[in-house]
């Protein structure tokens, strides 16, 4: 029986989440089990924290200054390699695959082996998604240095959406310029949507190819996706993750001219730019200085999704509900009303019973239903929970898992990993 380790690496703008999996068995009878996960928050904003989880064991420690993602990676690697309760991971050589979440994959549809060629392409895409791709690129370099024997794989958040029709992907702009510069809708959160669609199909006991859902990934970055017969046909994020729904510090959809009225320096370089990473003042405003942070002063949505919150918070909550229900209606029509389920996921979608209640009540005209008691207990139950009362048109809460989705292809379908062409 063969066994080896897969490390999933998910770089956020100020955090690093990693999970170590053990893959065992032969073709046709393989099993993937989670050994441990390690997460570092507050990178470059001391004190940083390390949260380590192995089964029911949980430990949080303060790390002081962790300057960048590379330094954070040294800490998590050390945490795994020195944990005597997971002897399978005692040496660096024990880790076979490192799977990197890359938000912007440009035209890449499938996961790709990271070669010199793919690395260069991903690095170039940092211009389109500077706030996301740059930390992923720095972690690929860290892996090459720290784990020279490992097979590095890039798993793209945009890949799942390649099935969107051309009229959805295309913006109404000069197509010569659009093609030259790659200016189109890509869509993101695809690893999450891939996981959710498979889990929902399993739960409904239907083939994935016959499962159609409206999925909501509501985290600090939020989006919605229309999934027809297992494939994305539209999603709310676009060229970059800023469009669609508002988020913790992102505007979501606005009139594109707004930014030129907001500042006369829209195209000037933001002071947070570095030698290798150019961020404009406009990008900084739209991505970092807006959303819940700008409206309420907090990015903690549990404080906003509170029926007794102050008016500023209520306004933010109402904006979110308004935009979400607008997309649910839009996608219900695009799916010709042939929908198996409305699915709530992401930190907010999984934890806020109140947001699920208000959204579901507003879309009840489409036939979606809510069972108050099941909804209030959904987070305790976990995994996937039917929070509606209809067997035909379901309302579901589904805990998403981007990390296992990254390990999934390496474990079960390594033949699907592209070689960079
Ligand atoms: N109990 C809760 N009620 C409402 N929102 C919550 C709750 N717990 C966490 N959140 C929100 O979930 C979001 C984080 O979701 P998550 O999917 O983990 O985000 P990301 O991966 O984008 O960082 C934050 O906006 C956080 O405030
Ligand atoms: C794509 C994206 O916006 O990711 P996140 O929500 O993790 O920032
Ligand atoms: Mg996320």
Examine the domain organization and report whether 242 and 336 are in the same domain: yes
Q: Which helix (H) or strand (E) covers residue 259, if one does?
A: helix 258-262
For residue 92, give both structure tokens.
């660096």
Q: Is the CB of 219 under 6 A from ligand 2?
A: yes
Q: State whether ipTM is beyond 0.85.
A: yes
Examine the domain organization and report whether 267 and 383 are in the same domain: yes
Q: Residues 63, 118: contact at Cβ < 8 Å?
A: no
* Residue 209: pLDDT over 90: yes
**What's the domain range around 321?**
205-402
Q: Is 10 annotated as a binding residue?
A: yes
Examine the domain organization and report whether 114 and 221 are in the same domain: no
Examine the domain organization and report whether 260 and 360 are in the same domain: yes
Percent of the chain with pLDDT over 90: 85
pLDDT (tens digit per residue) in 110-132: 999 999 999 999 998 888 887 78
Q: Residues 295, 254: contact at Cβ < 8 Å?
A: no
Q: Dump strand ranges (E) for 262-318.
A: none
For residue 409, give both structure tokens.
């292809």
**Cis-peptide, bond into residue 106, ω within 30° of zero:** no
Burial of 51 (0-12, 13-18, 19+ CB in 10 A): middle
pLDDT bracket for residue 421 (50, 70, 90): low
Q: Is the residue at 260 inside a domain?
A: yes
**Residue that is last in its domain, among 117, 139, 156:** 156
For residue 125, the domain's CATH number is 3.30.420.40
Examine the domain organization and report whether 324 and 387 are in the same domain: yes
**Residue that is last in its domain, among 122, 156, 190:** 156
**What is the side-by-side order of every strand in the sheet holding 151-156?**
57-64, 48-54, 29-41, 16-26, 3-11, 95-102, 151-156, 112-113
pLDDT (tens digit per residue) in 328-377: 999 999 999 999 999 999 999 999 999 999 999 999 999 999 999 999 99
Could you give the 3-state DSSP secondary structure of residue 297?
A: coil
Q: Is the residue at 177 inside a domain?
A: no
Question: Residue 19: how many CB atoms within 10 A of its CB?
Answer: 25
Q: How far away, in angstroms, is 191 Cα from ligand 3 center? A: 10
- What lies within 8 Å, CB to CB, of 99 at 6+ separation is 6, 7, 8, 9, 111, 153, 155, 406, 407, 409, 410
Q: Is the residue at 197 inside a domain?
A: no
To test the pocket of ligand 2, the residue of 241, 250, 350 to mutate (highest count of ligand atoms within 8 Å of its CB) is 241
Q: Residues 325, 362: contact at Cβ < 8 Å?
A: yes
252 phi-psi bin (left φ>0, alpha ψ -120 to 50, beta other): left
Q: Is the CB of 252 under 6 A from ligand 2?
A: no
Q: Is the residue at 176 inside a domain?
A: no
The DSSP letter of residue 270 is P
To test the pocket of ligand 2, the residue of 188, 190, 402 to mutate (highest count of ligand atoms within 8 Å of its CB) is 188
Query: Distance between terminal CA atoms of the chain?
Result: 33
| Separation CA 75–CA 82 (nearest Å) | 11
pLDDT (tens digit per residue) in 54-96: 999 999 999 999 999 999 999 999 999 999 999 999 999 999 9
* Residue 384: pLDDT over 70: yes
**Residue that is last in its domain, among 99, 132, 156:** 156
CA dist list (Å): 264 to 38, 242, 252, 260, 273: 43, 20, 21, 6, 18
> Cα torsion at 101, 194, 372, 357 (round to 10°)?
70
Examine the domain organization and report whether 142 and 248 are in the same domain: no
- Alpha carbon 106 to its chain centroid, in Å, reads 16
Average pLDDT over residues 292-301: 95
**What is the side-by-side order of every strand in the sheet holding 341-345?**
231-235, 222-228, 213-218, 341-345, 394-398, 384-386
Q: Is the residue at 74 inside a domain?
A: yes
Closest atom of ligand 2 relative to the 157 alpha carbon: 1
Examine the domain organization and report whether 225 and 151 are in the same domain: no
| Separation CA 314–CA 60 (nearest Å) | 33
**What pTM was estimated for this model as a whole?**
0.95
Examine the domain organization and report whether 10 and 108 are in the same domain: yes
Mark the residues whose beta carbon lies below 5 A from ion ligand 3. 219
What Rg do the C-alpha atoms of the chain give, in angstroms?
21
Tell me, yes or no, if 157 is annotated catalytic: yes
Q: Is the residue at 27 inside a domain?
A: yes
Examine the domain organization and report whether 42 and 120 are in the same domain: yes
Examine the domain organization and report whether 138 and 267 are in the same domain: no
Q: Is the residue at 102 inside a domain?
A: yes
| Separation CA 358–CA 395 (nearest Å) | 13
For helices 353-362 and 372-381, the axis angle rounded to 10 degrees is 140
Q: Is the residue at 190 inside a domain?
A: no
Q: How far away, in angstroms, is 217 Cα from ligand 3 center? A: 8
Overall domain count for the chain: 2
Nearest Cα residue to atom 5 of ligand 2? 221
């Amino acid at each position: 029986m063969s066994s080896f380790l897969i490390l999933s690496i998910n770089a956020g703008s100020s955090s690093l989440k990693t999970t170590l999996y053990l893959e065992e068995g032969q073709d046709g009878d393989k099993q993937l089990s989670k050994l441990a996960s390690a997460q570092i928050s507050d990178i470059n904003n001391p004190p940083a924290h390390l949260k380590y989880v192995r089964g029911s064991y949980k430990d949080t420690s303060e790390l002081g200054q962790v300057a960048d993602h590379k330094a954070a990676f040294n800490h998590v690697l050390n945490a795994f390699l020195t944990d005597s309760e997971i002897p399978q991971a005692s040496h660096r050589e024990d880790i076979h695959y490192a799977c990197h979440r890359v938000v912007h994959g440009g035209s890449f549809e499938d996961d790709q082996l990271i070669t010199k060629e793919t690395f260069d392409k991903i690095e170039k895409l940092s211009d389109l998604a500077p706030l996301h791709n740059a930390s992923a690129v720095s972690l690929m370099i860290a892996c090459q240095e720290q784990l020279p024997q490992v097979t590095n794989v890039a798993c793209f958040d945009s890949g799942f959406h390649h099935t969107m029709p051309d009229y959805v992907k295309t913006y109404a702009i000069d197509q010569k310029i659009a093609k030259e510069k790659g200016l189109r809708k890509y869509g993101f959160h695809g690893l999450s949507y891939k996981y959710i669609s498979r889990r929902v199909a399993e739960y409904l006991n239907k083939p994935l190819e016959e499962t159609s859902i409206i999925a909501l990934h509501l985290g600090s970055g939020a989006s919605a996706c229309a999934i027809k017969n297992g494939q994305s046909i539209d999603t709310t994020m676009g060229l970059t993750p800023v469009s669609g729904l508002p988020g913790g510090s992102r505007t979501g959809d606005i009139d594109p001219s707004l930014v030129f009225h907001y500042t006369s320096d829209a195209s000037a370089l933001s002071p947070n730019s570095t030698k290798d990473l150019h961020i404009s003042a406009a990008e900084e405003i739209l991505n970092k200085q807006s959303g819940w942070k700008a409206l309420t002063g907090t990015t903690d949505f549990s404080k906003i999704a509170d029926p007794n919150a102050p008016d500023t918070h209520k306004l933010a909550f109402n904006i979110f509900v308004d935009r979400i229900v607008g997309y649910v209606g839009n996608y219900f029509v695009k799916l010709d009303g042939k929908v198996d389920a409305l699915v709530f996921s992401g930190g907010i979608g999984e934890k806020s019973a109140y947001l699920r209640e208000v959204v579901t009540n507003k879309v009840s005209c489409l036939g979606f239903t809510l069972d108050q008691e099941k909804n209030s207990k959904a987070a305790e139950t976990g995994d996937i929970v039917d929070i509606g009362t209809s067997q035909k048109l379901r309302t579901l809460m589904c805990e998403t898992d981007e990390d296992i989705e990254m390990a999934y292809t390496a474990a079960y379908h390594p033949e699907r990993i592209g070689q960079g062409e």
